[in-house]
Amino acid sequence: MPKYVIIGASAAGIGAVEAIRDVDPVGTITVISEELLPQYSRPMISDFVSGKATLEKMKCREDYFWEKNAVQALTGRTATRLNLTGKYVELDGGERVNFEKLLLATGGKPFVPKIEGADKEGVFTFTTLADAEHLAAKLENAKSAVVVGAGLIGVSVTEALAKRGLRVTMVEFKDTILSLLLDSTAAKIVENAIRKAGVTIVTGQTVQRIVGKRENDHVVNGAVLTNGDSIQCDVVIIAIGVIPRTELAAGTDMKTNRGIIVDKFMQTTVPDVYASGDVAEAYDFVLNENRSLPLWPLAQLEGKVAGYNMAGKKAKYDGGTSMSALKYFGVPIISVGITNPKDDAAYEILVKHEPEKEVYKKIVLRDNVIVGMTFVNAIERTGILFHLMKHCVNVKRFKQALLSDDFSLAALPLSTRKKVYPEAAMR
Amino acid sequence: MKRIIAKEEACMGCGLCEVHCTVQHSKSKDIIKAYTREQPRPISRVRLEINKPVSFAIQCRHCEDAPCVSACLAGAMRKDEETGMVTHNAEKCMGCWTCIMVCPYGAIKMDVSGKVVAKCDLCSELEVPACVANCPNGALVCKEVTP
């Protein structure tokens, strides 16, 4: 009987395998993945569509990853049902896989709102390699595209389509793009870069209806916006967001909210059953609450924590927060935590904006502790700020240095350095 | 594995560590050619931090539990199980900048190409890393530690 069973083999699943093998070299591991080649980097699918990354480059682990870690990999298989009292997973073929410790790393699925015509040929979502392959195949004969949603996925697919020479229109319901990550000043800098690449951005609108061709209604010919405007296009990509794939938790004792509820050890409300990655609601150290944060680095960390605990080594998840690094349209951006607080009275905001250089730096403080930051076109050393943020360092004494171009570790008082950088080399 | 330790009290802030790191990571490995002919000039992976009177050199610490390795979207940043070194594979790197966001030391830079990152590789082909060998005041020392 496999000791460890992991459902899902993307970031969280991979992190868990590595952590388990770090402490338990022999316990049997079975990984169940719907994908045939699961160990690739999902964030790289836009580079795949643009032609910048080959399938080989996308592999984030070696081909022999499963063999190396003595994993029984059931790829191309779907877990259909859980029996947590009987401690087994049921597969699509009806077989049962027993477990001692189970990890749900099933990820998220694209949210597709009810749009008339969304079932037409030429409408895509964009989260997996299969999505990217389908889209890439269609692009051979496509000249124009409408991207619905201007979040991380929307912007990344827009860049890929623009690079492939398509005429792209990005439609965003909010007033600015990337609104969950950026304030309007930062968003405007990216919007300029996107427009320079020939993309049309429409804000404050969404797609109401997708229309078919006159000769074949089942094939996409355009999109109609809420204001009635219609845009001719050959493909529509729906990139509104992802929702946790919690289907397997239904009918079990596992408590779910939007995602599966986990403790700081990534264990669900059912003993021996863990959840990590986009499917879980893990701890956010800035908001001090658990929430769904579908981000690759966090999924990998959460998977690692789950893996250690499954293998009997106590490990606590320090928490993550909304944290994104962006590279799209040649504008490097770091956005972490609370970047655009509504209740201004509780926050102090430090800003440095150099419009001629398109450099924008913003730090959000609450009681002299960094709780958020946005850096556009000047992102180096932001990791130091992130470190201060994670350790809730009071920055009152060196606040003025934080936005300076030569901000560095040397700007920190010695006492602070000693406290948060315990390594001898830094003393 | 090798570890580079900075002796803050001995650092004069001369910046030769950066110069020699640049040379070591140039094509020619020649100080004059690297600085006059190589365009763009390779970047230094060590950074001299100055906030007078404090100065010290900092480069990748090859952290035990390296945040950049867990955060890497591409599998380009790896922890070498044998040497304990954090290695960066530029071929795999997708230039997403996530490692820059999470490096507590600010020790990962955007490479000159603007497409990938660059960081200290401990000059694996040299006996003693270039920054250490060329520090005139012994402010950088190389120690052998067991990972």
CATH code reported for the domain at B1-59+125-147: 3.30.70
Output the six-digit token pair for B71: 């955060």
**Residue A316: inside a domain:** no
Residue A179 lies in a domain: yes
Confidence at residue A427, expressed as pLDDT on a 0 to 100 scale: 43
Residues whose CB is less than 8 angstroms from the CB of residue A355 and which lie 6 or more positions away in sequence, other chains included: none
Contact A408 B51 (CB under 8 A): yes
Query: Judged by CB atoms within 8 Å, which residues 93-112 of A form the interface with B?
Result: none
What is the pLDDT, as a whole number, of residue A334? Answer: 98
Evaluate the omega torsion of the peptide bond into residue B53 and state whether it is cis, within 30 degrees of 0.
yes
**Is A25 within the bounds of a domain?**
yes
Is A325–B6 a contact, with Cβ atoms under 8 angstroms apart? no
Architecture of domain B62-119: 2-Layer Sandwich (3.30)
B98 and chain A in contact, CB less than 8 A: yes
Q: Are residues A226 and A253 in the same domain?
A: no
Closest approach of chain B CAs to the CA of A330, in angstroms?
9
Q: Is the CB of A300 less than 8 angstroms away from the CB of B103?
A: no
- Residues of B within 8 A of A383 (CB-CB) are 67, 99-108
Chain B interface includes A419 (CB < 8 A): no
From chain B, the residues in CB contact with A44 under 8 A are 73-74, 94
Are A415 and A272 contained in the same domain? no
Rounded to an integer, what distance in angstroms lies between the CA atom of residue A399 and that of residue A58? 40
For A383, which of B54, B95, B102 is closest by C-beta distance?
B102
Question: What is the helix, strand, coil percentage profile of chain B, to 5?
Answer: 20, 20, 60
Beta-strand relationship, A88-91 and A96-98: antiparallel
Interface of A with B in 326-385 (CB under 8 A): 326-327, 330, 332, 334, 336, 379-384
Q: DSSP secondary-structure letter at A166?
A: -
Query: From B118, which residue of chain A is nearest by alpha-carbon distance?
Result: A380
Instruction: Specify whether A145 is located in the same domain as A290.
Output: no
B49: contact with A, CB 8 A cutoff? yes
CATH number at residue A233: 3.50.50.60
On whether both A252 and A234 belong to a single domain, the answer is: no
* pLDDT value for A1: 62
Size of interface A-B (CB pairs under 8 A): 123
Q: Determine the pLDDT at residue A344.
A: 79
What tokens appear for B139 in the block?
């402010």
Report how far apart, in Å, the C-alpha atoms of A237 and of each of A145, A240, A266 are: 8, 9, 33
User: Inter-chain contact B8–A325, Cβ cutoff 8 Å?
Assistant: no
Tell me whether residue A322 is in a domain. Answer: no
Q: What is the DSSP letter of B34?
A: H
pLDDT at position B95:
97
**B56, B8 Cβ separation under 8 angstroms:** yes
Domain assignment present for residue A400? The answer is yes
Domain boundaries, chain B: 1-59+125-147, 62-119
Q: How many CA atoms lie within 13 A of A10 on its CB side?
A: 27
Residues facing residue A260 across a β-bridge:
A256, A280
| Smallest CA–CA distance from B65 into chain A, residue | A301
Q: Are B78 and B89 in contact (CB under 8 A)?
A: yes
- Are A384 and B104 in contact by the 8 Å Cβ rule? The answer is yes
Phi, psi of A342 (to 5 degrees): -85, -45
Name the percent of chain B lying above pLDDT 70.
99
**Does B47 lie at the interface with A, CB-CB under 8 angstroms?**
yes
Return averaged pLDDT per consecutive 10 residues of chain A, 427 residues in all: 91 97 97 93 96 95 95 97 97 96 97 95 97 96 97 98 98 97 97 98 97 96 97 98 96 96 98 98 97 96 98 97 97 97 90 97 97 98 98 96 94 92 61
Task: Say yes or no: A405 and A378 in one domain.
Answer: yes
Residues of B in contact with A406 (CB under 8 A): 50
Q: Please tell me whether residues A275 and A418 are part of one structural domain.
A: no
Two structure tokens written together for A53 = 């990354």
- Residues on chain A touching B4 (C-beta within 8 angstroms): 425
Instruction: Report how many domains make up chain A.
Output: 3
Domains B1-59+125-147 and B62-119 share a fold: yes
B36 and chain A in contact, CB less than 8 A = no
Does one domain contain both A222 and A167? Answer: yes
Residue ranges making up the domain that contains A277:
4-34+42-109+244-310
- Averaged pLDDT of chain B: 94
**How near does any CA of chain A get to the CA of B37, in Å?**
26
Task: Quick: pLDDT tens for B63-110.
Answer: 999 999 999 999 999 999 888 999 999 999 999 999 999 999 999 999
Contact with chain A for residue B55, Cβ under 8 A: yes
The candidate with the shortest Cα–Cα distance to A33, out of A88, A71, A61, A83, is A71
DSSP state of A1: -
Residue A406, domain member (yes or no): yes
**Partners of residue B55 in chain A, C-beta under 8 Å:** 410
Element housing A116 (H / E): none
Find the closest chain B residue to A325 by CA distance. B98
| A129 & A192 share domain | yes
How much is the pLDDT for B147?
A: 58
Domain boundary among A310, A345, A361: A310
Chain B residues with CB under 8 Å of A57 CB are: 74, 91-92, 94
Tokens 């403790």 found at: A263
| Facing residue for B70 by CB, picked from A300, A384, A411 | A300
- In the three-class reduction of DSSP (H, G, I as helix; E, B as strand; rest coil), residue B5 is classed as strand
CB-based contact (8 Å) between B64 and chain A? no
Instruction: State how far the Cα of B93 lies from the Cα of A57, in Å rounded to an integer.
Output: 9
Last residue of a domain, one of A238, A263, A279: A238
Record the tokens describing residue A278, joined without a space: 């986009």
All residues of chain A having their beta carbon less than 8 Å from the beta carbon of residue B104 are: 383-384, 386-387, 420-421
| Claim to verify: residue A103 and residue A248 sit in the same structural domain | yes
**Beta carbons of B86 and B77 less than 8 angstroms apart:** yes
The CA distance from B27 to the nearest CA of chain A, in Å, is 25
